[in-house]
A and B are shown apart, each in its own frame.
Chain A
């Protein structure tokens, strides 16, 4: 490929950051020193292009080191990886966390999504705008943005600050007090962090090529982010604080949360860790597939596809290699279950991925984690390094002859990358655009090869399945929904947090487990399944939280979001925020979603400013139907769900509650 560049050179920091992921350049051809011998051969071709999947890690390394991606830095990455600059620019500009114009090293992300808005993120945003200027400012030491859900809904409102440097650092304020936010947004960046004496650049494990030098603050493993929070800010609370009844003997999936040190493999093993993998290796891949099929486990990411069938279909493909992708791009507003697992019990996910890889015949698993989860990333990086050291990953796992390793890929602020085919593009170094199905991932997935994509919660369910046996697991829950289920409870209840209940409990049971509503507050509506889910009324608490129960009630469990809006919540404002979310997160590929989400937002804005609701609802319904019918992927297809349920179920713009769908008139 004959590439043309803008001929701008990277500075030393940018060069160092890229080299930390790709290794030093070999010659003048890929951005190193030009030697006479370079003229005697040409480098490139497939060898260079085959590393295209390192584009995203390389962009992260620059962004982590300098805070933004300059022309020179992007050019350098393109030379190193033989990528046309226009394509690399197309990829970099796809993600919200990357900047292509110079900006301050510290970026504060203030969550203004539905759960945080219900807990008062609005006044915080106004205060921030007053003190730090409009969002996205390029002057000063700090810039800030309004963020979609940060996955810290149990302690809303939340803010996350990330500061670029030799070793990037972060801090979390949740619940964010005005004072904490002031500290995040006004403190000057730590000058020492931009020097060269403070350790190494982006973690070597970012590219999955093994452990680097010992870490300063944690001897076990090098990690991308420094463990200590930004100077002047409070440390993050323990991951177990997200689980109000942590330590309960009824827990299966959450049983280790709060009981083990998430960084300690010994702790994990002492609590039964890695016994499921031993069991799997004993029964063989076919045995694992049988148990998982017998268990009746279905995907917990939202689509509820039978896991056993997905694995069986992947395992039986003659094309090789097979890949496993763990979808940890948890971005559905209101969802934080995967974060709690990854932060509080990271080894369980590593063990479960190893078992999945064994069952489907994969040697490599990609763990795609959203970019807004620095602590989860840190804990997983540690877990993978430690597991490798103890022969639990790598060649010949536990002496069984089975080889499996895990590479972490970090997202960079794009909800759509959690779509099961968009995640492939993102990992491959392309834009995170969903692909048309068929062909399905089990046939042509990551790098065009058979791939099983599973959500974090789905995977960790495999551990109890192997330990209990498939049929015993299937006896938990109901006939149509087997096993335990995690629910992300947020909003107006007394004790928001992550709850584990066997399938079969009702919405009321769950809300009561969370202590019910505070004195004097009543439930106006409950959003089930997140932004892509649907509202139910406060008087519909007898809906059983099972897949079949939710379906029978005309709603969905989705990813397990239960967001309770009390009588003080502004529902129209909530709908406007949902619409803004879909507009922002649409990849832009297909017309119904790209333009439909814009028209949906405009219409809701008109209603919120006193427009004629009846005619707007008619328009919304038409746009919504086209998005649902004609969009390429689930994002567009579900972009109108919440609005539709607010119209038809809550009767927000006219008809009395309880009136059947399709009969709205004014």
Chain B
């Protein structure tokens, strides 16, 4: 892999302390970067390696000595003399609660690493009571800001609702959405500049939405699938993956990943083909590619079906006979 040449002037090195260990990092380094470099694992959900930090999920919070509140590791930059604790009682408590609050309101069944973190922080999402019934499709999208029906506290409110299936290429299952804003940023000015989706409503009723909750086919969506690429929970997925999961045939263990080059145009985007039983089931792209940073277009992302139509096209041609 080629590495981009840095043309910026060299950065000043600063000294700080993380978990009692002295670290020396270039100015502007975030706590998360410094921890990754030193091997300290910090859980992240809304952080995207190709996107500006949104610090919305708060699962990465750390304790900065002397600060009134905890700070998000993904965006807080280390300052000279700063002392950071990544595993204090307060940190563990907040991480546990964030996992519990998410776990009790969102379907995290396809979010990687969550079971491990739940275990590590002793999170028990069930203690807020039985989950409320999923909302009918469209009900959450019609909610008015600043108003809600209070209920009686016997069930824990969730964001669950049926998945939105309005096109052939991908499915939006917002029961799994943790509101990380990554799809909005990838669709908007950080990568795709399509601006097909935004965060509508507010508070617990905030949701990812097109204008007036219009179907994707009426929206500005160009089906690049870059939102799927960054979605951390599987709320956005390939129709192939969604269907296979429904059918119970999705088996990540049995999949191979092969990185190759897209054949459609001359840009040379890298594709990682996920193959199960000799069928391409989804396509991703390496985030460390210096040209595309994991972004693709509709052809690279979804234009793989022809590869697996073995025999179909040939048969049709044969029927027509020679010229």
Q: Which of B6-14, B202-210, B273-281, B307-315 lies at the interface? A: B202-210
What is the 8 Å Cβ interface bit string for chain A, positions 431-467, against chain B (1 contact, 0 not)? Answer: 1000010000000000000000000000000000000
Verify if A52 is at the interface (C-beta below 8 Å from B): no
- Measured between beta carbons, the chain A residues less than 8 angstroms from B206 are 587-589, 594
A598 lies within 8 A of B105 (CB): yes
Neighbouring B residues of A84 by C-beta, 8 Å: 188, 195-196, 198, 220
Which stretch (B18-26, B89-97, B264-272) binds chain A?
B89-97
List of B residues within 8 angstroms of A631 by Cβ: 58, 69
Task: Say whether, besides A71-B212, A625-B93, A414 and B202 are in contact (CB < 8 Å).
Answer: yes
CB distance from A591 to the nearest CB of B (A): 5
Contact B61 A90 (CB under 8 A): no
- Tell me if A86 and B220 are in contact (CB < 8 A): yes
Within 8 A of B (CB), among A562-616: 576, 580, 583-592, 594-599, 601-606, 609, 611
Closest B residue to A624 by beta carbon equals B97
Give A663 Cβ to nearest chain B Cβ, in Å. 19
B5 in contact (CB, < 8 A): no
Which of A148, A584, A596, A632 contacts B148, CB < 8 Å? A584
Instruction: Identify A431's interface contact among B55, B199, B204, B212, CB under 8 A.
Output: B199
The answer, yes or no, to whether A619 is at the interface (CB within 8 Å) is yes
Whether, in the assembled complex, A85 has its beta carbon less than 8 Å from a beta carbon of chain B, the answer is yes
Taking a contact as CB atoms under 8 Å apart, the answer to whether A630 and B98 are in contact is yes
**Max count, chain A CB within 10 A of own CB: residue among B72, B145, B178:** B145
Q: Tell whether B151 is near chain A: CB-to-CB under 8 Å.
A: yes
User: How far apart are the CA atoms of A590 and B70 in the complex, in Å?
Assistant: 13
- Please classify the interface of chain B as helix (H, G, I), strand (E, B), loop, or mixed, using the class held by over half of its residues: loop
User: B146 to chain A: which residues have CB within 8 Å?
Assistant: 95-96, 148, 413-414, 584-585
Closest to A146 in B: B147
Selected from A591, A622, A625, the residue in CB contact (under 8 A) with B58 is A591
Across-interface contacts of B56 in A (CB, < 8 A): 589-591, 632
Whole-angstrom distance from the CB of A448 to the nearest CB of chain B? 14
**Does A606 lie within 8 Å of B153, measured CB to CB?**
yes
Answer whether A629 and B61 are a contact pair too, CB < 8 Å, given A414-B146, A586-B204, A588-B204. Answer: yes
Assess whether A254 is interfacial by the CB under 8 Å rule.
no
- Write out the residue numbers on chain A whose beta carbons fall within 8 Å of the beta carbon of B195: 1, 3, 84, 86-87
Complex contact A85–B211 (CB within 8 A): yes
Q: Are A93 and B200 in contact (CB under 8 A)?
A: yes
Q: Are B58 and A145 in contact (CB under 8 A)?
A: no
> In the bound complex, what is the Cα–Cα distance between A276 and B97 (angstroms)?
52
B96 to chain A, nearest CB (A): 8
B102 and A90: CB pair below 8 A?
no
In the complex where A6-B214, A595-B102 touch, is A436 in contact with B193 (Cβ < 8 A)?
A: no
Alpha-carbon separation in the docked complex, A148 to B145 (Å):
12
When distances are taken between beta carbons in the complex, the residues of chain A under 8 Å from B127 are 619
**Are B220 and A596 in contact, with the CB atoms below 8 A?**
no
A29 within 8 A of B: no
**Considering only CB atoms and an 8 Å cut-off, how many residues of chain B contact the other chain?**
60
CB distance from B236 to the nearest CB of A (A): 15
Q: How far is the CB of A16 from chain B (nearest CB, A)?
A: 22
A296 to B97, CA, bound (A): 40
Which chain B residue lies CB-closest to A619? B127
- Chain A residues near B97: list those with CB within 8 A: 592, 596, 622-623, 625-626, 630
Min CB distance, A629 to chain B, in Å?
5
B147 near A630 with CB under 8 A, answer no
Question: Could you tell me the distance in whole angstroms from the C-beta of B155 to the nearest C-beta in chain A?
Answer: 8
**Chain A 347-376 against B: per-residue CB contact (8 Å), 1 yes, 0 no?**
000000000000000000000000000000
Does chain B have a CB within 8 A of A135? yes
Q: Which residues of B contact A101 (CB under 8 A)?
A: 142
Nearest chain B CB to A276's CB is how many angstroms away? 35
The residues of A that contact B233 with a CB separation of less than 8 Å are none
The yes or no answer to A637 lying at the interface (CB within 8 A) is yes
Q: Given that A595-B105, A626-B97 are known contacts, is A414 also in contact with B203, CB under 8 Å in the complex?
A: no
**8 A Cβ contacts from A39-91 to B:** 71, 74, 84-90
Query: Does chain B have a CB within 8 A of A136?
Result: yes
Interface flag for B43 (CB, 8 Å): no
Docked-complex contact B153 and A609, CB < 8 angstroms: yes
B105 touches A86 (CB 8 A): no
Task: Please determine whether B75 and A6 come into contact, CB atoms closer than 8 angstroms.
Answer: no
Closest A residue to B102 by CB, please name it. A591
Given known contacts A135-B147, A591-B57, A630-B98, A94 and B69 CB-to-CB distance under 8 angstroms: no
> Which residues of A come within 8 Å of B, CB atoms?
1, 3-4, 6, 71, 74, 84-90, 93-96, 99-101, 135-136, 145-146, 148, 413-414, 416, 431, 436, 576, 580, 583-592, 594-599, 601-606, 609, 611, 619, 622-623, 625-626, 628-632, 637
Instruction: Identify 16 residue pairs between A and B in the complex whose beta-carbon atoms are under 8 Å apart, listed by A's number.
Output: A86-B195, A86-B210, A89-B200, A93-B201, A100-B212, A145-B147, A414-B145, A414-B202, A583-B148, A584-B203, A587-B203, A591-B179, A609-B153, A623-B101, A626-B98, A629-B70
15 more CB-based (< 8 A) A-B contacts, given A85-B211, A89-B210, A609-B152: A86-B197, A86-B219, A93-B209, A94-B145, A95-B145, A96-B146, A436-B75, A580-B150, A583-B204, A585-B146, A589-B56, A589-B179, A591-B101, A596-B97, A603-B153
Which 10 pairs of residues, A with B, have the shortest CB-CB distance?
A: A90-B198, A96-B146, A84-B195, A588-B206, A605-B153, A626-B97, A85-B211, A595-B101, A606-B153, A4-B220
